[in-house]
A = this chain, B = another copy of it.
Amino acid sequence: MDKVERIGVSLEPELLAEFDAMLNEKGYQNRSEALRDLIRKELSNKQLEDPDAKAVGVVSLVFDHHTAKLTERLLHLQHSHLLQTISSLHVHLDHRHCLEIIVLQGLVNEIQSVGERMISLKGVKQGRVNLISGQD
């Protein structure tokens, strides 16, 4: 942080004690850091409610790598859309299952729609689309 402002917060002693206990458990060094994280999370959730907001999507897919043409179809989806695929990571979970993580950049509704198309492919057994709001 280059420049900071300082604000005061009043709260009940019991609430503060519970908050401190949680910070300790999560490994926070100080309350300001934890409160900044809470504020950022709230702002981010709010932002991602807008289908037209810019976002980064992390699509996690578990699939059976014996499925014919699946990798091809996944690549096709990554290239046939207005979305920008930034990067991807491939992990071998066991002799049969792979985890592919695909990082996409675009609008919230585009990411969700492409993510759902990926999950719907034959051979994909589980999938999650995770959104991260654009940075300022």
Contact = CB atoms under 8 A, between A and B. Distances in A.
A105 to B, nearest CB: 8
A23 B128 CA distance: 17
A16 to B, nearest CB: 5
A117 B26 contact: yes
A31 to B, nearest CB: 6
A124 B135 CA distance: 12
Contact of A34 (B15, B28, B36, B120): B120
Contacts of A116: 26-27
Interface string A73-93: 000000000000011110101
Given A46-B22, A130-B58, A119 B37 contact: yes
A6 B7 contact: no
Given A11-B36, A18-B136, A38-B42, 20 more contacts: A3-B13, A7-B11, A7-B16, A8-B32, A9-B9, A9-B35, A10-B32, A12-B36, A22-B43, A26-B119, A27-B116, A27-B120, A29-B122, A34-B120, A37-B119, A49-B112, A58-B101, A87-B91, A97-B135, A128-B130
Given A38-B42, A44-B126, A62-B132, A31 B14 contact: no
